[in-house]
Amino acid sequence: MFQKNPRVDADVDLLLGRFRDIASDGRLVLHEEIESLLTLTRKQSRYRLVTDKWRRILLHERRVFLDGRGAHGRGFVSLTPDDMIRYSNRRIRQLGRQLRHAIAVTGLPDPSELTSAEMRNYQARLLVACEQVTRTHRAALIDLTKALRPPRQLPRTGTESGS
């Protein structure tokens, strides 16, 4: 049976108190600030446990999303509402690529190579389910991807050269 560590909750409360004014405004929270407050280094698993819980609370209770990748290793950046939409678009596109890759890998083994009828049945069901998901949502995902792309520039004509 797992027991909650009260020290983790205390550290999360410490972060919530120190950064109580954090909002979705693009500000950067440096790892150094968090490390000095918690007296932990970012390489410790406890640091990750505490910051993950802190970020989850901010997301669900204060609607603030802290992105670690957007800060390029310096800390966490609180995404603006527009940045949250861009982040979600990137993640959805990434999931689409992962799904296509998983479908390709699932289809690689010939059913005769699989060791049991149960595994052959599972492969077939998995391929059908994935195909249904991709076929059903393909148009919507393409539309979503196009929606956030910058508009294409019109081609230049020869008359604009200023002559």
pLDDT digits (tens, 9 = 90+) for 38-71: 999 999 999 999 999 999 999 999 999 999 888 8
Q: Are residues 100 and 74 in the same domain?
A: no
In terms of Cβ atoms closer than 10 Å to its own Cβ (0-12, 13-18, 19+), residue 87 is middle
pLDDT band at 103 (very low <50, low <70, confident <90, very high): confident
pTM of the model: 0.69
Q: Are residues 40 and 59 in the same domain?
A: yes
- Provide the residue range defining the domain that includes 88: 81-147
CB atoms within 10 A of CB 12: 20
Tell me which DSSP letter residue 5 carries.
-
Q: Are residues 63 and 115 in the same domain?
A: no
Q: Which residues contact 124 (CB under 8 A, 6 or more apart)?
A: 111
Domain count within the chain: 2
Tokens of 2: 């797992």
CB of 29 closer than 8 Å to CB of 19? yes
